Amino acid sequence: MKPFSVSVLVLLLSIGAAAQAPPSRPAADADEASATSKVVFPASLAGRWRSRPYELPLTSDLHREVYGPNARSVRLVEMTIRPTGDGVLTVTSSVRNAAGRVVAGTRQIEEVRFTVGGVEESSAGVTPRYSTRVSHADRRYPDEGGAPPFELDGAKVFVSAPGTPADSVEVRFEPPEGTGSFWETLRRVSRAATP
């Protein structure tokens, strides 16, 4: 009877030890999932980028009456991306008169702070687009003195790079109002990110 009890005790202890030992495959699966969830930021996108001025002639009777003949709307897009993936997109719009001077009261600045992630899934032949997460966006009118900025909750930024290494990037800005969205090509100004 005594040897039977010892055998049962040894059997129970070995079953308990086996139950406490972590299974080897699920742990390996967890490590693989952790490795694949890490996002690799494309270092080639770090730096300062700027568009050429986009100019649109203002030719309506109202525009000529308010701004004078040969006035034009001008938009400039600038973007800085740090090596960490943190970026700032700045869209500056204004009206310039025939002499090229900014008309007082027409300047508008939209600023979007965002983080760039890894490449999103895309089909073959489509320019790679990187995931982005907007952390803050606002619009301000600097000619209005100390007026507070307007929050742009819901603004979106999309970044695509047609080549590697990237010498140009395509940026899409979508204001939350649902109008005024645009794509713009930006060229590299400097590879070093602004501190």
Please write the tens of the pLDDT for every residue from 18-54: 444 444 444 444 444 443 344 566 788 899 999 999 9
Mean pLDDT for the stretch of residues 84-110: 95
pLDDT digit string (tens) for 115-126?
Answer: 998 887 665 656
**Under 8 Å between Cβ of 113 and 134:** yes
173/29: higher pLDDT: 173
Tabulate helix, strand, coil % of the chain (nearest 5): 25, 40, 35
Domain spanning 43-190: CATH 3.30.450: no
Q: Are strands 86-96 and 47-50 parallel, antiparallel or unpaired?
A: unpaired
Give me the residue spans of the domains in the chain: 43-190
Cα–Cα distance, 70 to 72 (Å, whole number): 6
**Under 8 Å between Cβ of 191 and 46:** yes
pTM for the model: 0.74
**What is the per-residue pLDDT for 22?**
44
Cα–Cα distance, 172 to 158 (Å, whole number): 5
